[in-house]
């Protein structure tokens, strides 16, 4: 085996500099202070537990990162964090971005074909994929529960005709070979989606064993006193890698207005035809978006989803504005509470 089996893309090589390839490792477990890393020595996979030195960047290594590890005074340490090709990030409460996983080549957006199916949520995930610069595929899970998945596939085609939507079932095995065939040897994939859509079941299938359920117990035994990591990079037996991280399972992830515009290119294209350049698409005369809503060519659902994600992403573009808005909302809450107390106080007087 070699580093390509760990997902090494050619582009990372230029950053290795004077180090030997044996010093190159990939972060596979994140314990907070310590990390699990994997590398290759004499054609064999090696796993190490390392801590990090004060790095030149403020950035903390995350799962999927490529790092340089060296032995210093008997300890294995991360001495350098290599530049990321892609990263998935979320917006902190302060409005700044925090990386969750790095060097990902494929995002599988998972959604099940039942009440959980939600186009707004899908659009949110598509914006996230845009923000990360990563190719998304929609995986429609629980294929065995529906007679005909085409109703779901068609709805996704309406969001973006170039987007692949793949119905699968871990119960019957349908679609799973196609899913596997999408993962190349040097690919690093993540599955994102709501709780219960079947992500763990899919990861277990890809790994060929029930790793996710049994992991906590065996890992704790092997690690002794360390807190068990719940962020993992797994190597698939069929080639390629997959990241499982609870941070990736949440939806509140940051993206810029540009990412939203790209995801909603149909709505943006309409806006080009508005009479006024600074059209707010609300009441203006000659608004192409209002016209499309009126003639039914743009659905009110998609329009609302677009406006909502645009508003959110404006804050990601501008953390200070994000802070101001939070402050304003907080003042409003406090004011409401004071007013309520006033009213209640008055009642007490009676
Ligand atoms: N009918 C059917 N049920 C499935 C399928 N895949 C998973 N399930 C069931 O759906 C439930 C949730 O599956 P998980 O794999 O734990 O879902 P998850 O997305 O990992 O959920 P979290 O761990 O909470 O994020 C379990 O009861 C599974 O047995 C499927 O293809 N068909
Ligand atoms: Zn308009």
Task: Give me the residue spans of the domains in the chain.
Answer: 3-81, 87-249, 257-338
Number of helices (H) and strands (E), helices first, in the chain?
10, 13
**Ligand 1 in reach of 196 Cβ (< 6 A):** yes
pLDDT of residue 350 exceeding 70, the answer is: no
**Ligand 1 in reach of 197 Cβ (< 6 A):** yes
Residue among 111, 196, 199, 242 to mutate when testing ligand 1 (max atoms within 8 A of CB): 196
Question: What gap in Å lies between CA 164 and CA 129, rounded to an integer?
Answer: 14
Atom of ligand 1 nearest to the CA of 172: 31
Considering every ligand atom, which ligand is closest to the CA of 293?
Answer: 2
pLDDT digits (tens, 9 = 90+) for 122-154: 898 898 888 888 989 999 999 999 999 999 999
Q: What is the mean predicted confidence (pLDDT) over 153-179?
A: 94
Q: b or e along 29-61 (b: 16 or more beta carbons within 10 Å of the residue's beta carbon)?
A: bbbeebbbbbbbeeeeeeeeebebeeeeeeeeb
pLDDT digits (tens, 9 = 90+) for 39-80: 999 999 999 999 988 777 778 899 999 999 998 888 899 999
**Ligand 1 in reach of 245 Cβ (< 6 A):** no
CATH superfamily of the 257-338 domain: Probable gtpase engc; domain 3 (1.10.40.50)
87-249: what CATH class? alpha beta
Residues with CB under 5 A from ligand 2 (ion): 274, 279, 281, 287, 289
- Name which of 215, 205, 216 is nearest 242 in CA terms: 205
Angle 346-349-350 (CA atoms, 0-180°, nearest 5)?
100
DSSP state of 66: E
The ipTM value here is: 0.95
Annotated binding site: 141-144, 193-201, 274, 279, 281, 287
Amino acid 32: pLDDT: 81
Give the DSSP per-residue string, 82-116: PPPS-EEEEE-TTS-EEEEEES--EEEEEEESSTT
Domains 3-81 and 257-338 share a fold: no
Amino acid 236: pLDDT: 93
**Ligand 1 in reach of 144 Cβ (< 6 A):** yes
Q: Is CATH 2.40.50.140 correct for 3-81?
A: yes
């Amino acid at each position: 085996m070699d580093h390509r089996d760990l997902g090494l893309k050619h582009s990372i090589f230029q950053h290795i500099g004077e180090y030997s390839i044996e010093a190159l490792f990939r972060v596979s477990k994140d314990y907070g202070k310590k990390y699990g890393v994997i590398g290759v020595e004499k054609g064999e996979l090696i796993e190490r537990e390392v801590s990090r030195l004060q790095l030149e960047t403020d950035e903390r290594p995350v799962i999927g990162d490529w790092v340089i590890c060296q032995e210093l005074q008997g300890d294995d340490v991360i001495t350098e964090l290599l530049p990321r090709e892609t990263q998935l990030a979320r917006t902190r409460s302060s409005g700044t971005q925090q990386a969750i996983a790095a060097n990902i080549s494929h995002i599988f957006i998972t959604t099940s074909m039942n009440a959980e199916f939600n186009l707004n949520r899908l659009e949110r995930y598509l914006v996230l994929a845009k923000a990360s610069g990563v190719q998304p595929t929609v995986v429609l899970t629980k294929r065995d529960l529906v007679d005909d998945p085409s109703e779901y596939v068609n709805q996704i085609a309406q969001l973006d005709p170039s987007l692949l939507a793949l119905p699968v079932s871990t119960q019957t095995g349908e679609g799973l070979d196609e899913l596997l065939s999408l993962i190349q040897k040097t690919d690093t994939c993540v599955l994102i989606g709501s709780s219960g859509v079947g992500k763990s079941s899919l990861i277990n299938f890809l790994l060929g064993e029930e790793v996710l359920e049994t992991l906590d117990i065996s890992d704790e035994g092997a690690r002794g006193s360390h807190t068990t990591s719940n962020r993992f990079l797994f190597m698939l037996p069929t080639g390629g890698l997959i990241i499982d991280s609870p941070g990736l399972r949440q939806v509140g992830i940051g993206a810029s207005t540009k990412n939203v515009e790209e995801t909603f290119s149909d709505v943006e294209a309409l806006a080009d035809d508005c009479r006024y350049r600074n059209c707010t698409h609300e009441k203006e005369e000659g608004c192409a978006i209002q016209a499309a809503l009126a003639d039914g060519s743009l659905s009110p659902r998609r329009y609302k989803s677009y406006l909502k994600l645009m508003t959110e992403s404006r804050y990601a573009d501008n953390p200070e504005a994000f802070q101001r808005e939070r402050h304003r909302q907080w003042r409003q809450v406090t004011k409401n509470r004071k007013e309520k107390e006033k009213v209640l106080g008055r009642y007490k007087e009676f």
